[in-house]
Amino acid sequence: NAGVTQTPKFQVLKTGQSMTLQCAQDMNHEYMSWYRQDPGMGLRLIHYSVGAGITDQGEVPNGYNVSRSTTEDFPLRLLSAAPSQTSVYFCASSNAPGIEAFFGQGTRLTVV
Amino acid sequence: DQQVKQNSPSLSVQEGRISILNCDYTNSMFDYFLWYKKYPAEGPTFLISISSIKDKNEDGRFTVFLNKSAKHLSLHIVPSQPGDSAVYFCAARGYNNNDMRFGAGTRLTVKP
């Protein structure tokens, strides 16, 4: 049982580059979300989805796009990377929003 | 604005003693609270939760207490074990169920 799988685990980008962080879950959860973790800030919600075709913004959405074409996948796109987006990114899924969630192992992103 | 605050960045206790991790919140609309544990290079894992209609919830060695009037919750671990050494995040769910807010985390070290 894989749970929530994130790829890649590490990534270095140059300022202005774009990339997609992948997230897949095999638990048939409707709710998926993306967080970033920064020192002293905890986890902050970027975007979330309550089901295929439905997405919405969280606390810090600027500079990121998401889509949800299937129940399993919820990719996060960085449109034009900036050093302020250097962070650890976590994808999570759950049966419903705001309850116990399963997290992926994280993607450590560095933008230089 | 940090609506969920964990004011102690770190805590160190001896094996077998009690660990008490604290969390304060400012938004009276939060109605569900969760604790997550995070080991290095892993995603957070759910530990225990409590609804705002309760003031205590127990699960084995872990107990969460909620004081709504003080907007304060705490996690008690008894007895503490070296394997409990991790970063603990407090999280709160807003009234619209999609607004999850996390504290900055407390690093617990349990010494043998």
Each residue's pLDDT tens digit, A69-96: 999 999 999 999 999 999 999 999 998 8
Q: How far apart are CA A74 and CA A67, in angstroms?
A: 6
Please state whether the peptide bond connecting residue A8 to the residue before it is cis, i.e. omega within 30 degrees of 0: yes
- Closest by CA position to B40, among listed A110, A106, A86: A106
Contact B44 A103 (CB under 8 A): yes
Contact A42 B41 (CB under 8 A): no
Closest CB to A106: pick one of B4, B36, B43.
B43
Contact A99 B49 (CB under 8 A): yes
For the residues of B68-87, what is the DSSP string, one character each? TTTTEEEEEESS--GGG-EE
pLDDT tens string B48-67: 999 999 999 999 999 999 99
Q: How far apart are CA A38 and CA A45, in angstroms?
A: 12
Q: How much is the pLDDT for B9? A: 94
Residue A108 pLDDT > 90: yes
Element (H, E) at A19: strand A19-25
B contact set with A (CB within 8 A): 2, 4, 6, 32, 34, 36, 41-46, 49, 89, 91, 93-94, 97-105
Q: How far apart are CA B34 and CA B89, in angstroms?
A: 8
List of chain A residues whose C-beta atoms are within 8 Å of the C-beta of residue B99: 45, 58-59, 98
Instruction: Show Cβ contacts of residue A30 under 8 Å, excluding neighbours closer than 6 positions.
Output: A50, A51, A71, A95, A96
**B16 three-class SS:** coil
What is the distance in angstroms between the Cα of B104 and the nearest Cα belonging to chain A? Answer: 4
Quote the Cα angle for B85-B31-B65, to 5°: 45
Q: How far apart are CA A14 and CA A85, in angstroms?
A: 11
**A83 three-class SS:** helix
Q: How far apart are CA B1 and CA B107, in angstroms?
A: 22
For residues A19-43, average pLDDT: 94
pLDDT-based confidence at residue A2 (cuts at 50, 70, 90)? confident
pLDDT tens string B37-47: 999 999 999 99
Q: How far apart are CA B105 and CA B112, in angstroms?
A: 22
Contact B98 A106 (CB under 8 A): no
